[in-house]
Amino acid sequence: MMIAQGAGFPMDISGAEKLRTLVAVTQGCLITSQALSNLFKQSKHLRLLDLSLTSGWHNCFGPSGQGNILDEIPVEIGGLINLRYLSLAGSKVLKILPETLCDLHNLQSLDLTGCSSLRKLPDGMGKLMNLRYFYTWFCSSITSYPKGISCLTSLRELTNVIARADHNDAKEFTLGDFEKLNNLCGHVRVKLVGNAIDADEAIRASLWNKKDLDRIRINLDGDIGKESQDVIKKALNPPSDLNIEFVGWWF
């Protein structure tokens, strides 16, 4: 089912219990928590849910862009146990995601691109064991990523991640937590935070096992930025075919 450009998001959808796909092709559409709660309670067979700005999506992430007006995801989303694809891209006022999102054990793709007000990711992210594609472009309000990302061994695409580099933290994703993410492909942007590079964390990251990863773009934050790039690269010890780039910007 498609909700067309210019249409409001309905409080009730006829035949919702049979829905497998729902795409909202809208811009500036108000999507209320109550409407979503009603949808989630009825549509237990949903496999694809796209609430993003799908037409001209690249325009909605700048200061003047207008994404969908979605400020809350109700806890009932955890009941969509058949969901494979979820996009909330362009939801610029969304600040938090419910922990019940981590009950979507069959979820394979999660797109949060342009959720610029999103403050944190759910602590239980490690339960999304089938997640393969995770997009967090322009999620500029997130200051750390949860430890559970280290458990997502099926991940093939991870656009961005913030990694603590000075020690193995119990709650935050750290540099060494790349250890088991050996299916990553293409490139990933990494923001390293902390006081210095911990040699044990760099070794534990096991970059030499990332056979399909082509490039890592690294942004250095805080005191770690005082370290020379050569020192950091030597600590990471990447294989010769893995390109390490240092960049001064982050998004």
CATH of the domain at 65: 3.80.10.10
Say yes or no: 25 and 65 in one domain.
Answer: yes
Say yes or no: 125 and 165 in one domain.
Answer: no
- 78 is a domain residue: yes
**Tokens 């325009």 belong to residue:** 59
Domain that holds residue 69: 1-142
Say yes or no: 18 and 129 in one domain.
Answer: yes
* Residue where a domain stops, chosen among 88, 116, 142: 142
CA atoms within 13 Å, Cβ hemisphere of 247? 14
Q: What is the pTM of this model?
A: 0.90
Q: What does the buried/exposed string (b/e) look like for 42-53 if buried means 16 or more CB atoms within 10 Å of the residue's CB?
A: bbeebebbbbbb
Say yes or no: 125 and 61 in one domain.
Answer: yes
The pLDDT value given to residue 81? 97
The pLDDT value given to residue 95? 96
Specify the number of domains making up the chain: 2
Say yes or no: 130 and 236 in one domain.
Answer: no
Enumerate residue ranges in the chain where pLDDT < 70.
1-11, 14, 25-29, 53-68, 250-251
Pick the closest to residue 49 from 14, 8, 89, 103 (CA basis).
89
- 150 is a domain residue: no
Digit-coded pLDDT (tens) for 66-125: 555 788 999 999 999 999 999 999 888 999 999 999 999 999 999 999 999 999 999 999
Say yes or no: 192 and 90 in one domain.
Answer: no
The pLDDT value given to residue 57? 45
Say yes or no: 167 and 61 in one domain.
Answer: no
Say yes or no: 1 and 103 in one domain.
Answer: yes
